[in-house]
Amino acid sequence: MVDNGSGVPADQVPVAFGQFLFGSKFRLKQTRGTFGLGGTMAILYGQITTNKSVQIITSTGTSRVYEYRLMIDIQRNRPVILDRKVHTNKEVNGELWHGTVVEFHLEGDYYRAMPKILDYLIQTAIVNPSANIAFVDPRGRLYKFDRTTTKMPPPPKETLHHPHGVDVETIQRMMRSTECGNMLDFMKEHFHRVGEQTSRQFLDFAKVDGKSDPKRLNPDEIVELVQAMKNFNDFLPPDASCLSPLGDDLLGAGIQKELQPDFAAAHQRKPSTYSGYPFIVETAIAFGGRIPSRGEIVLYRFANKIPLLYDESADVSWSVIKSINWRRYKVAPEMPVAVFVHMCSTKIPYKTVGKEIIADIPEVSREILNGIREVARRLELYLSRQEKVKREQKRLTIFSKYLPKIAEFSTRLAGKENVPDIDLLLRRAKRFEQEGS
Amino acid sequence: MSKKEVKFSAKERRKEVLEKLEGLGSEFYAQMEKGHFPHILMPSRSTDNIYYSPELRQYVLGEKRVRRSAGNIRHLGPFTQLVWSSYFAHELTSNQKTSTLRDVYYSAQAYDISFKDQAESDNILTDVETVISSSREDFNIFPEESSAIFGDLTIEYTIPNYAGRRLNLTSHPDGVMIGPALTTAELIETTADKVIAIEKGGLFTRFIEERVHEKFNALLVYLRGQAPRSTRYFIRRLNQEMGLPVYIFSDADPWGMHIAMVIISGSANAAHLTELTTPDAKWAGVWASDITGYKLPSDKLTNLDMKRLRELERDPRYKGDIWQREIDIFTKIQRKCELEAFSRYGLTHIVDSYLPQRLIEMGA
């Protein structure tokens, strides 16, 4: 795997690729993964199936390029550095290279996995229209997904926890490491959108003395505090600056480039929250092009720009689509229609540890429903316009088929030489249609 | 020997039809030249516009008119079919060629005019009839089925290749088919003083064999069940042009009775045409009362027969005494019989005994 990203600082390479990280963070932002398990997991899988090391080459664009060969000490959850080299970074086109190269071996049944792997790549390309992706598969075939835009969504900002979204474990760890000497400052310092006034109001509500030392709270008091946080309704809702949705244009561009539909519409919902976590739902709909006619709507699901490929029918988006009366939007089952649902959040409410299906949380399903409805309405407009154009064409075809015959046979019947000019009538037939519409 | 009383000229009749068709073409042409979508106003043939006229003793169309316009997408197809059918009718008539309904349906395809099925083309031809108020036989479209005539009547053909040639209708012992050539022929002279129309072919042949035409001085017409329009039209001409009274013999059942009625008063389907009926023709038998009167072998009326009888009872054409009387008797005796039933008493019984007696009763 090769990318031209920001690269990994040399001292963090062993930990990033050779160790599983546990525990959640004190600060939140939307990331592709949640716990930083994915990359290491792949490398681990390679190691246990082939017993081969992983090679990592990376540079952050400095004058040096670092090369590591690692294995994972599984029992102790620690990276084992087999080899480490430092190379001089060379300038290409006036720029120093930055990025990461990871090479490892793994055993797998490519032929069986191939469809899903290709789905994953296509769908990744859809939600990353600014990325150039190339993949050479085990058969030696090259798959290329070219960028069609250089625009990228603004990167997410880091944010503090919202009081509605913390658990006892997180609070305990915060308290252990906090530098705040009293609860009033603790609330203000570590929580999202909690200021002096909100902090006081909440501590009154929770019957906690603002001057008390956070480090002195006993476990029962911490449980009560978390409970109070959940029950206090006057916290400001979380803002969405920590999220990085694609936006209508980029989602539309991604769909356009991979599926070339005849029509596509994308819609970003306003930020919303569930259990203290901000989220944004983006929906899109596309018609025609490479979208297959499967007898039902094709659903593409994404969570924080990651395609969700498995257990589609257990996903909240699936049940939302099933609950919609598509006939209302002029969509018939045999039409080539695809619906896209992208949810971004600091915490995606996955139903299972497999992280493939999003749970049916009322706040979330409502946003998805409204989002799909919005784009479905736009598809309906497009379809009725198409229908009208078709009707109009058919109507004109009928006129231009019959009027000349009427003219011809009337002329013969009347014993005249020249057929009357019917162009005017044909033009009027056209105008009638426009007036009638 | 009676000569023709009313003037009939096939040539004039043809000219009249041609003029009406040309007039239609000119009207559409003029409308298009003015930049209008061609259109036409014609009598509605829907059932709510069909009335019985006691004066004419037939069904007629009322005042309701329908407008068909080429500017209306729903009318466009039928309108084109109407224009083409008029054109085709004109071609047939001016070239003195004949065609059938089936034939027209296929001919349309040669002009890239599409009809869904023959029912559709038949319907459009009825529109043409309605628009120019002439029956399709006048523009040379004849039915497939045909009936026959036998007797001392001299006609003169007007069709190409035969024009001017004369024929006496006793010349063929099977009778002469009432086809396009005969329908358009001029009636020249006859010694007959009546027309006897018979529903069944067997009886028609028997009558010729038994020389009924001589014994009763009659022209014999074979109706072949429900008479085709060309035959009805021909009977009318015999009645109107030659002044011959017409006597109709059909089976003694509701259906036979109606065969006679359609010759006399026409059908609701032909309400748009006025020259197909012979209001003075008489239904001469076989009556329900004959079944008992002549002790004829008979069958029971079926439920369907009874249902038909109830319909006829309410039909305005059946107002006359004889009709209501016979319907009553049918209802009472619940029996029916066929013309052939007379053979029960010997092959010539019907000619020797029933026919002379009935004609006297009818005042012939």
Q: Are A323 and A8 spatial neighbours (Cβ–Cβ below 8 Å)?
A: no
Q: Are A365 and A391 contained in the same domain?
A: no
Mean pLDDT of B93-108: 90
Torsion of CA B293, B298, B301, B305, to 10 degrees: -80
- What pLDDT was estimated at residue A215? 87
The ipTM value here is 0.82
pLDDT over 50 at A74, yes or no:
yes
- A289 and A400 fall within a common domain: no
Quote the Cα angle for B19-B21-B25, to 5°: 110
Confidence of residue A435 (pLDDT cuts 50, 70, 90): very low
Average pLDDT, chain B: 91
Residue A297 domain-assigned (yes or no): yes
**Residue A28 has what pLDDT?**
66
Q: Same domain, yes or no, for A74 and A18?
A: yes
Count of pairs with CB atoms under 8 A, one residue in A, one in B: 78
- Spatial distance between the Cα atoms of A233 and B230, rounded to a whole number of angstroms: 95
Average pLDDT over residues A207-234: 89
Which site among A392, A393, A406, A417 would you substitute to test the B interface, given the most B Cβ atoms closer than 10 Å to its Cβ? A406
CB B32 to CB A414 under 8 A? no
In the predicted structure, residue B61 carries a pLDDT above the cut 50? yes
Domains of chain B: residue spans and CATH: 2-142 (1.10.10.10), 148-361 (3.40.1360.10)
Q: Which residues of B touch A413 (CB under 8 A)?
A: 21-22, 24-26, 28-29, 83, 86-87, 90
In this complex, do B73 and A409 lie within 8 Å of one another by their Cβ atoms? no
Number of domains in chain A: 4
Give the closest-approach CA distance of B36 to chain A in angstroms: 7
- Hunting for tokens 């002790």 — which residue is that? B295
- Band of residue B320 on the pLDDT scale cut at 50, 70, 90: confident
Residue A157 lies in a domain: no
Please report the pLDDT score of residue A36 as a whole number: 55
CB contact under 8 A, B25 and A413: yes
Looking at residue B4, what is its pLDDT? 59
pLDDT-based confidence at residue A158 (cuts at 50, 70, 90) = confident
- Give the closest-approach CA distance of A422 to chain B in angstroms: 7
| Residue A55 contacts residue A68 (beta carbons within 8 Å) | yes
- CATH classification at residue A299: 3.30.230.10
Distances (CA, A) of A207 to A186, A197, A203, B59: 15, 15, 6, 101
Amino acid B6: pLDDT: 52
A389 and A370 co-located in one domain: no
Does residue A44 belong to any structural domain of this protein? yes
Asked if A285 contacts A337 with a C-beta cutoff of 8 angstroms, the reply is yes
The two structure tokens encoding residue A158: 């880091």
d(CA A298, CA A197): 49
Say whether both A267 and A371 belong to one domain. yes
**Which residues in chain B are closer than 8 Å to A428, comparing Cβ atoms?**
35, 37, 71
Residues A18-50: pLDDT tens digits? Answer: 887 655 556 666 666 545 567 788 888 999 999
pLDDT band (50, 70, 90) for residue A429: confident
Location of structure tokens 């909440």: A202
Single residue among A366, A382, A398 that ends a domain in this structure: A382
Q: Any chain A CB within 8 A of the CB of B25?
A: yes
- Above pLDDT 70, what percent of chain A? 95
A405 contacts in chain B (CB < 8 Å): 80, 83-84, 112-113
Interface contact B71-A432, CB threshold 8 A? yes
Provide the token pair at B316: 């305005």
Q: For residue A263, is it within any domain?
A: yes
Distances (CA, A) of A433 to A271, A401, A429, A430: 44, 16, 7, 5
If asked whether residues A222 and A266 sit together in one domain, one would say no
User: Searching chain B, which residue's CA lies closest to the CA of residue A422?
Assistant: B32
The Cα of B135 is separated from the nearest Cα of chain A by a number of Å equal to 19
Cβ-defined contact of A415 to B22 (cutoff 8 Å): yes
Mark yes or no for CB contact B38/A432 under 8 Å: no
Please state the three-class secondary structure of chain A as a single string. Answer: CEECCCCCCHHHHHHHHHCCCCCCCCEECCCCCCCCCHHHHHHHHHHHHHCCCEEEEEEECCCEEEEEEEEEECCCCEEEEEEEEEEECCEECCEECEEEEEECCCCCCHHHHHHHHHHHHHHHHHHCCCCCEEEECCCCCEEEECCCCCCCCCCCCCEEECHHHCCHHHHHHHHHHCCCCCHHHHHHHHECCCCHHHHHHHHHHHCCCCCCCHHHCCHHHHHHHHHHHHHCCCCCCCCCCCCCCCCHHHHHHHHHHHHCCCEEEEEECCCEEECCEEEEEEEEEEECCCCCCCCCCEEEEEECCEEECCCHHHCHHHHHHHHCCHHHHCCCCCCCEEEEEEEEECCCCECCCCCCCECCCHHHHHHHHHHHHHHHHHHHHHHHHHHHHHHHHHHHHHHHHHHHHHHHHHHHHHCCCCCCCCHHHHHHHHHHHHHHC
Question: Do residues A370 and A327 lie in contact, with contact meaning Cβ atoms separated by under 8 Å?
Answer: no
Domain contains A24: yes
Which of B33, B112, B113 is nearest residue A420 as measured by Cβ atoms? B33
Host domain of residue A259: 248-382
A280-317 pLDDT per residue, tens:
999 999 999 999 998 999 999 999 999 999 999 999 99
Average pLDDT over residues A127-139: 94
What's at B186, amino acid-wise?
A: E
Residue A216: predicted pLDDT: 86
The tokens for B23 are 């007039």
Q: Is the pLDDT of residue B124 over 90?
A: yes
What is the mean pLDDT of the segment spanning B79-99? 94
Residues in A touching B87 (Cβ below 8 Å): 409-410, 412-413
Q: Is residue A428 located within the same domain as residue A361? A: no
Pair (A271, A186) in one structural domain = no
Q: Which of A55-64, A82-91, A346-355, B280-289 has the lowest mean pLDDT?
A: A346-355
Task: Give the closest of B29, B35, B113 to A411, CB-based.
Answer: B29
Per-chain mean pLDDT for chain A? 89
Is the domain of A252 the same as that of A378? Answer: yes
Which residues of chain B lie closer than 8 angstroms to A395, CB-CB?
73
Burial B126-152 (b: 16+ CB within 10 A, else e): bbbbbbbebbbbbbbbbbeebbbbbbb
Pick from A405, A422, A429: which is nearest to B32 by CB? A422
Q: Are A192 and A282 part of one and the same domain?
A: no
Q: What's the pLDDT band for A437 if we cut at 50, 70, 90? A: very low
Mean pLDDT of A187-213: 91
What per-residue confidence (pLDDT) applies to A25? 55
Any B CB within 8 A of A429 CB: yes
* Closest Cβ opposite residue B29 in set A395, A420, A432: A420
The three state secondary structure string of chain B is CEECCCCCCHHHHHHHHHHHHHHHHHHHHHHHHCCCCCEEEEECCCHHHEEEECCCCEEEECCCEEEEECCCHHHHHHHHHHHHHHHHHHHHHHHCCCEEHHHHHHHHHHCCCCCCCHHHHHHHHHHHHHHHCCCHHHHCEECCCCCEEECCEEEECCCCCCCCCEEECCCCCCCEECCHHHHCCEEEEECCCEEEEECCHHHHHHHHHCCHHHHCCEEEEECCCCCCHHHHHHHHHHHHHCCCCEEEECCECHHHHHHHHHHHHCCHHHCCCCCCCCCCCEEEECCHHHHHHCCCCCEECCHHHHHHHHHHHHCHHHCCHHHHHHHHHHHHHCEEECHHHHHHHCCCHHHHHHHHHHHHHCCC
Together in a domain, A301 and A398: no
Asked if the Cβ–Cβ distance from B25 to A399 is below 8 Å, we say no
Q: How many CB atoms lie within 10 A of CB B54?
A: 10
Quote the pLDDT of residue A33.
55
Instruction: List the single best residue of B33, B79, B80, B107 to mutate versus A (max A Cβ within 10 A).
Output: B80
pLDDT greater than 70 at residue B338:
yes
Residue B80 has its nearest CB partner, among A405, A414, A420, at A405
Q: Do A398 and B38 touch (CB under 8 A)?
A: no
- Which region among A112-116, A248-252, B45-49, B303-307 has the lowest average model confidence (pLDDT)? B45-49
CATH number of the domain residue A202 falls in: 1.10.8.50
CB contact under 8 A, A398 and B73: yes
Among A231, A260, A283, identify where a domain stops: A231
Contact list, B112 vs chain A (CB under 8 Å): 405
Q: What is the CATH number of the domain that holds A20?
A: 3.30.565.10
Residues of A in contact with B22 (CB under 8 A): 413-415
A contact residues 374-413, partner B, Cβ 8 Å cutoff: 395, 398-399, 402-403, 405-407, 409-413
Q: Which of A19-33, A143-157, A230-244, B23-37 has the lowest mean pLDDT?
A: A19-33
Tell me if A415 and B35 make a contact (CB, 8 A cut-off).
no
In this complex, which of B35, B38, B73 lies closest to A406 when CB atoms are compared?
B38
Using a CB–CB cutoff of 8 Å, tell me whether B173 touches chain A: no
Residue A385 has pLDDT above 60, yes or no: yes
Per the annotation, the verdict on B106 as an active-site residue is yes
Residue range B199-208, pLDDT digits in tens: 999 999 999 9
Yes or no, beta carbons of B29 and A432 under 8 Å apart: no
Same domain, A167 and A77: no
In chain A, the residue whose alpha carbon lies closest to the alpha carbon of B34 is: A420
Give the end of a domain, one of A205, A231, A257.
A231
Closest partner residue to A409 (CB to CB) among B71, B73, B84 is B84
Q: Which listed residue (B106, B111, B233, B247) is catalytic? A: B106
Task: Please report residues of B whose CB lies closer than 8 A to that of A429.
Answer: 71
Q: Distance from A432 to chain B by nearest Cα, in Å?
A: 9
State the pLDDT at residue A436.
40
d(CA B363, CA B360): 5
- Among B22, B35, B84, beta carbon nearest to A405: B84
- The CA distance from A115 to A121, in Å, is 10
Q: Which two tokens stand for residue A3?
A: 């990318």
pLDDT confidence band for A431 (50 / 70 / 90): low
pTM: predicted TM-score of the whole model, two decimal places: 0.63
Lowest pLDDT segment from A97-111, A331-345, A346-360, B332-346:
A346-360
A118 within some domain = no
> Is A135 part of a structural domain of the chain?
no
Residue B130's nearest CA partner among B220, B24, B246, B241 is B24
- A146 in a structural domain: no
